[in-house]
């Protein structure tokens, strides 16, 4: 029961229509529009852009007395739309309509095309009746411009000693934006709006912070667990709202982090782990639309299994529900993993794991691609250890090997494309200088295989206990030749002192090579190759320290060392201090904020500072987290812009 809407194409990017039609400010106006159509029938529907089917996925149009569907494109004639065979718009004069409904925004030009065909007695309405306020539009003349719809959702909770904090930066002025503002709307678990507000964004590169405790105090709210809808007004160059999301508690043992929700709801998500004995795993489903999710429309299956077990309840519009995986799969255990049948009903979901000792952690599933096919050229382009092909190592998924005196690192490959019936992979562990220490060949994994690797145990005999480095998951074309480039893994980190756990997941990229394969090396803005770094490192609030692990992966040999700047930024975007790092090619660097920057520098930076990690010579991949002494820690990969 997937929604028949277009949300994202890897060719054209994100769709704006679904964002415009389902915006929280558009939904009440849509109800008024539909009531008007229901009262002034019969209604002739003119659908020149093919948007009617998508609109009907969000709103119940059954009360509208439709007398005919009319189209402009001759290729659409005769096709069934909303229960009617599409007719040519030239038949409109004989429709007998009292109202003509033009299913389009910016409809004046389209109405002009058919002005002579509209019955004399008929009024005309369009989707322009659903427009958000004009001062929220960066490009009012082009309503569906993607820069009008820089939006996203965040999972947001405050209550019972648990809090959340969204942290980002105003990076849009770098692309020419001026006067950016933020509109936010908080929904409770039932989908009811609790509060909304508009505030100016900070100066260029300034910090954006939304803390659940402050929101609750500002609006005098009861405890909540729901969705925070974010809309950046005046965006330019970048239509994605990226952020870090910290979860923390009154008790220092409650600490976790994850990041942005990926603004385009997908059909499938994967990388959701089953619980270990004594753990409880919950999937948080945030309905991202103004229409209910029907009972049975969302489900789970163990990866590689055809048996889907569904959520047998309705989820109201914009509501957030907790799905306890044990209720559907009491028999499932780590390292088994789940596939989420999401049907485009919600953005990339968070999951929460509660351990037997009560410690909690939050992480996210990933978008599972449905449009990929294996590329038979990849094995030829990617060479072996001695005679590498033109893309060298090819796709690399880099993850930290945290200092082994405190942390255990565990890696689990996760299928993330419906085309991945088999997965030939291996893990190679490198020390901080980029020298290979050990290798583990998983073989050619079946889709149903879930094999977790204790990376720390693989190298414990070869490295001192306080040593650190990184691990790379890469294709192993000696084991199999089926590959599509969408290589993912979940990496779990266990604190040997406190028992606290954190986990992160991400996909592979080709890094630091002159050749281009499809859209790799990926660029955050513009055409590939992306060969530079701009990463956002949010800093933990006192008394927490912040950890950062930067990896310099290279598909082919690149510069011998990085030329990396760590720029300490005040919350208003003013630089306070700058440090330099030289990371060996193929190596990594683990560091802490309190050790890297002196106390005077940290005091000058003040609250809500961050570190901009900048390198114009190479692309780095970074992970960040917070340290609450020996009590707890958090870890996730960083975002760039």
Which two three-digit tokens encode residue 49?
């852009």
Arithmetic mean of pLDDT over the chain: 94
DSSP 3-state percent helix, strand, coil across the chain (nearest 5): 15, 40, 45
Decide: 619 and 531 in contact? Cβ < 8 Å: yes
Cα dihedral sign, 309-313-314-315:
negative
b/e for 142-179, b at 16 or more Cβ within 10 A? ebbbbbbbbbbbbbbbbeeebbbbbbbbbbbbbeebee
Rounded CA separation 506/399 (Å): 9
Rounded CA separation 399/412 (Å): 11
Helix (H) or strand (E) holding 423: strand 422-431
pLDDT, tens digit, 9 for 90 and up, residues 32-72: 999 999 999 899 999 999 999 999 999 999 999 999 999 99
Which two three-digit tokens encode residue 86?
């599409």
Decide: 176 and 138 in contact? Cβ < 8 Å: no
pLDDT, tens digit, 9 for 90 and up, residues 598-636: 999 999 999 999 999 999 999 999 999 999 999 999 999
* Residues facing residue 154 across a β-bridge: 228
Decide: 164 and 158 in contact? Cβ < 8 Å: yes
Decide: 565 and 615 in contact? Cβ < 8 Å: yes
Task: Give the Cβ contact number of residue 418 at 10 Å.
Answer: 18
Residue found by looking up tokens 């050790």 in the block = 595
The reported pLDDT for the residue numbered 483 is 95
- Does residue 386 have a pLDDT over 50? no
pLDDT, tens digit, 9 for 90 and up, residues 307-359: 999 999 999 999 999 999 999 999 999 999 999 999 999 999 999 999 999 99
Rounded CA separation 360/337 (Å): 19
For 54, the 3-state DSSP assignment is: helix
Q: 252: exposed, middle or buried (C-beta count within 10 Å: 0-12, 13-18, 19+)? A: middle
For 588, the 3-state DSSP assignment is: strand
Provide the pLDDT confidence category of residue 640 given band limits of 50, 70 and 90.
confident
Rounded CA separation 56/526 (Å): 35
Rounded CA separation 366/340 (Å): 10
Rounded CA separation 525/230 (Å): 21
The three-point CA angle 103-105-110 to 5° equals 70
Which two three-digit tokens encode residue 239?
């239509």
Rounded CA separation 399/106 (Å): 47
- Does residue 384 have a pLDDT over 80? no
The reported pLDDT for the residue numbered 462 is 77
Rounded CA separation 226/383 (Å): 48
Which two three-digit tokens encode residue 637?
């990969």
CA distances from 154 to 298, 504, 618 (A): 20, 17, 31
- Answer whether the bond into residue 521 is a cis peptide, omega within 30°: yes
pLDDT, tens digit, 9 for 90 and up, residues 438-493: 999 999 999 999 999 999 999 987 776 678 999 999 999 999 999 999 999 999 99
How many Å from the N-terminal Cα to the C-terminal Cα in the chain? 35
For 222, the 3-state DSSP assignment is: coil
Rounded CA separation 505/413 (Å): 10
Decide: 263 and 240 in contact? Cβ < 8 Å: yes
Q: Which of the two residues, 641 and 156, has the higher pLDDT score?
A: 156
The reported pLDDT for the residue numbered 252 is 79
Rounded CA separation 272/334 (Å): 10
Region class of 518: left (phi > 0), else alpha (psi between -120 and 50), else beta = left
For 563, the 3-state DSSP assignment is: coil
Where does 127-261 have alpha helices with state H? 212-218
Rounded CA separation 421/180 (Å): 45
Rounded CA separation 348/214 (Å): 25
Where does 435-510 have alpha helices with state H? 455-459
| 219 Cβ contact partners less than 8 Å away, ≥ 6 residues apart | 186, 194, 195
The reported pLDDT for the residue numbered 388 is 56
The three-point CA angle 149-153-157 to 5° equals 155
The reported pLDDT for the residue numbered 12 is 57
pLDDT, tens digit, 9 for 90 and up, residues 209-266: 999 999 999 999 999 999 999 999 999 988 889 999 999 999 878 899 999 988 899 9
pLDDT, tens digit, 9 for 90 and up, residues 509-559: 999 999 999 999 988 778 899 999 999 999 998 889 999 999 999 999 999
The reported pLDDT for the residue numbered 387 is 45
Where does 235-347 have alpha helices with state H? 325-328
Which two three-digit tokens encode residue 583?
């990371």
The reported pLDDT for the residue numbered 542 is 86
177 alpha-carbon distance from chain centroid: 23
Which two three-digit tokens encode residue 4?
């028949």
User: Closest Cα to residue 52, out of 40, 43, 42?
Assistant: 43
* Residues facing residue 253 across a β-bridge: none
Query: Hey, which bits of 355-421 come out as E strands?
Result: 360-364, 366-367, 396-401, 407-413
The reported pLDDT for the residue numbered 466 is 73
Cα dihedral sign, 470-475-480-482:
positive
Rounded CA separation 157/360 (Å): 14
Where does 120-271 have alpha helices with state H? 212-218
Which two three-digit tokens encode residue 115?
């002005």
Rounded CA separation 216/239 (Å): 28
Task: Give the Cβ contact number of residue 580 at 10 Å.
Answer: 9
Which two three-digit tokens encode residue 183?
């509109």
The reported pLDDT for the residue numbered 15 is 87
Rounded CA separation 123/99 (Å): 5
The reported pLDDT for the residue numbered 258 is 95
């Amino acid at each position: 029961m997937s929604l028949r809407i277009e949300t994202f194409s890897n060719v054209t990017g994100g769709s704006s229509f679904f964002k415009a039609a389902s915006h929280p400010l558009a939904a009440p106006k849509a109800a008024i529009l539909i009531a008007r159509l229901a009262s002034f029938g019969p209604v002739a529907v003119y659908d020149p852009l093919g948007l009617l089917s998508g609109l009907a996925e969000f709103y119940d149009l059954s009360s509208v007395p439709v007398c005919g569907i009319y189209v402009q494109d001759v290729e659409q004639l005769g096709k069934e739309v909303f229960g009617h065979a599409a007719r040519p718009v030239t038949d409109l004069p004989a429709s007998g309509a009292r109202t003509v409904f033009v299913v389009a925004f910016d409809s004046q030009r389209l109405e002009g095309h058919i002005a002579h065909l509209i019955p004399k007695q008929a009024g005309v309405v369009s989707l322009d009746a659903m427009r958000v306020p004009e001062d929220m539009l960066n490009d009012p003349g082009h309503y569906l411009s993607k820069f009008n719809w820089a939006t996203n959702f965040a999972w947001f909770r405050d209550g019972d000693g648990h809090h959340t904090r969204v942290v980002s930066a105003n990076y849009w002025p770098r692309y020419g934006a001026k006067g950016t503002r933020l509109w936010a709307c908080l929904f409770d678990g039932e989908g009811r709006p609790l509060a909304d507000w508009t505030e100016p964004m900070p100066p260029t590169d300034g910090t954006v912070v939304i803390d659940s405790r402050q929101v609750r105090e500002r609006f005098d709210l009861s405890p909540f667990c729901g969705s925070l809808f974010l809309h950046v007004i005046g965006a330019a160059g970048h239509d994605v709202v990226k952020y870090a999301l910290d979860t923390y508690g009154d008790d220092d043992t409650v600490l976790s982090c994850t990041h942005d929700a990926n603004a385009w709801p997908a059909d499938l998500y994967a990388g959701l782990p089953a619980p270990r004995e004594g753990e409880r795993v919950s999937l948080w489903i945030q309905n991202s639309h103004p229409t209910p999710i029907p009972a049975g429309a969302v489900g789970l299956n163990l990866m590689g299994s055809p048996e889907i077990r569904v959520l047998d309840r309705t989820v109201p519009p914009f509501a957030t529900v907790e799905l306890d995986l044990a209720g559907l799969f009491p028999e499932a255990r780590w390292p088994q993993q789940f596939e989420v049948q999401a049907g485009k009903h919600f953005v990339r979901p968070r999951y929460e794991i509660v351990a037997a000792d009560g410690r909690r952690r939050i992480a996210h599933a990933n978008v599972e691609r449905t449009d990929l096919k294996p590329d038979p050229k990849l094995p030829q382009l990617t060479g072996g250890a001695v005679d590498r092909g033109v893309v060298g190592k090819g796709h690399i998924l880099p993850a930290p090997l945290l200092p082994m005196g405190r942390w255990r690192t565990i890696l689990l490959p996760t299928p993330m494309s419906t085309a991945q019936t088999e997965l030939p992979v291996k893990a190679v562990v490198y020390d901080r200088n980029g020298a290979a220490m050990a290798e583990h060949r998983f073989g050619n994994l079946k889709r149903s295989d879930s094999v977790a690797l204790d990376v720390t145990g693989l190298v414990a005999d070869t490295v001192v206990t306080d040593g650190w480095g990184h691990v790379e998951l890469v294709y192993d074309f000696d084991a199999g030749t089926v590959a599509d480039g969408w290589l993912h893994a979940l990496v779990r980190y266990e604190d040997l002192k406190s028992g606290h756990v954190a986990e992160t997941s991400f996909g592979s990229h080709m890094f630091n090579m002159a050749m281009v394969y499809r859209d790799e090396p990926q660029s955050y803005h513009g055409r590939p190759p992306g060969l530079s770094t701009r990463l956002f490192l949010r800093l933990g609030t006192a008394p927490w320290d912040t950890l950062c692990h930067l990896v310099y992966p290279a598909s082919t040999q690149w510069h011998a060392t990085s030329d990396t700047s760590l720029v300490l930024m005040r919350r208003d975007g003013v630089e306070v201090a700058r440090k330099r790092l030289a990371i060996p090619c193929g190596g990594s660097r683990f560091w802490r904020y309190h050790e890297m920057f002196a106390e005077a520098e940290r005091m000058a930076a003040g609250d809500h500072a961050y570190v901009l990690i900048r390198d114009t010579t190479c692309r780095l991949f970074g992970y960040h987290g917070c340290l609450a002494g020996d009590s707890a820690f958090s870890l996730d990969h960083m975002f760039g812009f």
